[in-house]
Chain A
Amino acid sequence: MEGKTKKIAKKIALYVILILLAVIWVVPMFTLVATAIKSQSDFYSGIGLFELPDNIAWDNFINAITQGRLLTYMKNDLIVSCLKVPLGIFVEALAAFALTRLKVKHKTGIFVFFLIGMMLPMQTALVPINVIYSKLGLLNTYFGLFYVYIGFGISFGILILRGFFNGIPKDIDEAAYIDGCNKWQLFYKIILPVAKPAIATLVITDFLSTWNEYLLASVIINDNTMKTVPVGIMTFVGEHGTDYGYLCAGVLLSVIPVLIVYLIFQRHFVEGMAGAVKS
């Protein structure tokens, strides 16, 4: 009996802690929403953060989309992400396949060589890429941006895919070769489909890191019509630094696509990330 009461007390304590943490964790999102629904005149009248305005300022959202060019930024970001993610994963999978299923001299050495890029700061590439790109006319282009992104994603992609490919039994290869597959068919028809879970995880993490990248995009893109969302919302801050409602509406709208992707694929994030690391 006593043990049971103790158990219940523990459960209650757990929930109290969790809810307290959740309340703290929700503050930034609460602030964002509470500000985005207020108009400039609400602020002039000295409205508090915790008070509701008389009318929700939908204008903030409309302005963010029309004057703020938010849709243009989203379109650009979507194009770059949709090019980068599949191409990057394909290139990484090819290399990971060679490193796990084919005979390669200095396998570990090549793997380590590919791994180092994961930790190098992007700052080292900024000036050289800027110089080379301005010579080749690649500044302010989609290609210029997603090419660099693929480069910086290669290390992580190979790390994850190599780990997963290693876990696929080698017997499959033998069987496939006996059935008349060549190496390309083994890769494309057998290994890639089996690796779906790892690829799914990679697609999501890759998509988000591309969508959210700021430093390289801020250097490669300065044309307003070519900006991605992170660079675009920094432009917001520069242009409308004091119009808080408008600013927060823009940031909120920029978060919504990510929120949707996250809600759909949530399982993949938490379970998938853990699985990817374990393998």
Chain B
Amino acid sequence: MKKNKNIVKTEKSAWLFMLPAAIIYLSVIVIPVFYSLYISLFKWNGIGEMTFVGLDNYLNLFSGDATFRTAIINNLIWIVLTIVVTMTVSLGFAVILNKQFRGRTFFRGFFYFPCVIAPIAVAIIWRWIYNPNMGFINQFFEAIGIDFSQQWISNPDTSLYAVFIAALWQAIGQPMILFLAGLQAISPDVLEAATIDGASGVKRFFYITIPLLKDTFVIVIATLITAALKVYDVVQGLTGGGPNDATQMLSTYMYSQVFQYNNVGYGTAVACIMVIMMMVVIVPYVSFTAKED
């Protein structure tokens, strides 16, 4: 009897404990998402009358908007690049920094450092590195006597990759730390046993280390994909989506539609498509995380 009474009591106070977080979360995240869905069904310039247009914004986006198509493709390229390049490079760094050597702590801190700088500052710094006349890269090629001067970010053929390299400088820190944590969790006995059985270093890495890092890979891939879908600061600061939409992302396109062209309904529809794309990643990831519990 007494125990039952306790359960009821506890539940009430539990709601009180969760209340502040719930109120803020609902008002900042949940309600705005639904409000955005609502706005995306209207033609609206942000100030005047809202005209209901149903799904027209979405239909227009998918049927005739070349910039939108470019943005989606760029986001997909960005996802592939982060999975292939960012993940490989950060795993490589983690493997090196997991070895025993003097100065290990220093190097870990050193390679993680770009992570703590504001992405917008990173963009400004790299804008300067890519400067065709005075920037580091072209000056470096000139100094070593190679004629390889490029326009880098103002050339539509190279700009997306140039922006990606700038982002990469900062982006490896987080996955590197995750991989380091994963590597440290692997018991040395397992690797030793494999060595005794005659497995070479490369074999040990691919047949033992990588499979044991499965959980880490799931977290890293999920965070990299969501970050790739959201990427904004570094693009906005370096190119603003240009030249000629060559680096246009869903995020930059959404921003320019809403805040530069005042197509608020239309731009919000882009934001809603971002949410839907994100859900495709989140739902399996969250169900995986919840199952782990």
B124 to chain A, nearest CB (A): 5
Main secondary structure of the interface of A (DSSP, over half): helix
Known: A124-B271, A127-B271. A98 touches B251 (CB 8 A): no
Interface residue ranges of A173-201 to B (CB < 8 Å)? 183, 187
With A127-B36, A211-B118, A262-B116 as contacts: A274 and B180 at CB distance below 8 Å: yes
Q: Are A102 and B14 in contact, with the CB atoms below 8 A?
A: yes
B286 touches A103 (CB 8 A): no
9-residue interface stretch from B155-163, B190-198, B272-280: B272-280
| B22: interface (CB < 8 Å) | yes
Taken together as a complex, chains A and B put the C-alpha atoms of A137 and B277 apart, in Å, by 33
Interface assignment of A91: CB less than 8 Å from any CB of chain B: yes
Contact A151/B27 with A94-B21, A95-B17 known, Cβ cut-off 8 Å = yes
A261 to B113, CA, bound (A): 11
C-alpha gap A110/B18 in the complex (Å): 10
Give complex CA distance A21, B185 in Å: 26
Considering only residues 262-279 of chain A, those with a C-beta below 8 Å from chain B are 262, 266-267, 269-270, 273-275, 277-278
Pairwise interchain contact A27-B33, C-beta atoms closer than 8 A: no
On whether the beta carbons of A126 and B258 are closer than 8 Å, the reply is yes
What is the minimal beta-carbon distance from B223 to any residue of chain A, in angstroms?
A: 9
Contact between A233 and B278, CB atoms less than 8 A apart: no
> Are A251 and B109 CB-contacts (below 8 A) given A129-B28, A278-B185?
no
CB distance from B59 to the nearest CB of A (A): 20
Decide yes or no whether B108 CB sits under 8 A from chain A. Answer: yes
Question: Smallest Cβ distance from A125 to chain B, in angstroms?
Answer: 4
Which residues of B from 264 to 287 have beta carbons under 8 Å from A? 264, 267-268, 270-272, 274-275, 278, 281-282, 285-286
Interface residue B87 (Cβ < 8 Å from any Cβ of A) = no
- Does B177 sit at the interface, judged by CB under 8 A? yes
Q: Is there contact, CB below 8 Å, between A28 and B143?
A: no
Contact, CB under 8 Å: B21 / A124 = no
User: In the complex, which range does the number of interface residues on chain B fall in?
Assistant: 35 or more
Q: In the bound complex, do residue A49 and residue B181 qualify as a contact, i.e. CB atoms below 8 Å apart?
A: no
A255 to B255, CA, bound (A): 26
Does B117 touch A at the CB level, under 8 Å? yes
Among B25, B117, B131, B134, point to the contact of A154 (Cβ < 8 A).
Answer: B25
Does B99 reach chain A (CB closer than 8 Å)? yes
Q: Given that A28-B126, A31-B129, A119-B226 are contacting pairs, would A254 and B24 also be in contact in the complex, using a CB cutoff of 8 Å?
A: no
Query: Number of A interface residues, CB 8 Å?
Result: 90
Evaluate contact between A28 and B18: CB separation under 8 angstroms.
Answer: no
- Does residue A56 face the partner (Cβ distance < 8 Å to B)? no
Check B259–A117 contact: CB distance below 8 A. no
Shortest A27–chain B CB gap in Å is: 6
Contact B14 A103 (CB under 8 A): yes
Question: Is B80's CB within 8 Å of the partner chain A?
Answer: no
Asked if B28 and A92 make an inter-chain contact with CB atoms under 8 angstroms apart, the answer reads no
Q: Given known contacts A11-B101, A278-B185, what 13 new A-B pairs fall within 8 Å (CB)?
A: A28-B125, A48-B143, A49-B139, A50-B143, A94-B18, A117-B25, A119-B226, A128-B35, A129-B32, A212-B118, A212-B120, A230-B233, A278-B181
Q: Sorted from nearest, which 9 A-B pairs have the closest CB atoms?
A: A151-B28, A274-B181, A212-B118, A98-B17, A128-B32, A95-B21, A102-B14, A128-B35, A123-B271
Which residues of B pack against A, CB within 8 Å?
7, 10-11, 13-15, 17-18, 20-22, 24-25, 27-33, 35-36, 39, 93, 96, 99, 101, 105, 107-114, 116-122, 124-129, 131, 134-136, 139, 143, 169, 177-178, 180-181, 184-185, 219, 226, 229-230, 232-233, 236-237, 250-251, 254-255, 258-259, 264, 267-268, 270-272, 274-275, 278, 281-282, 285-286, 289-290, 293
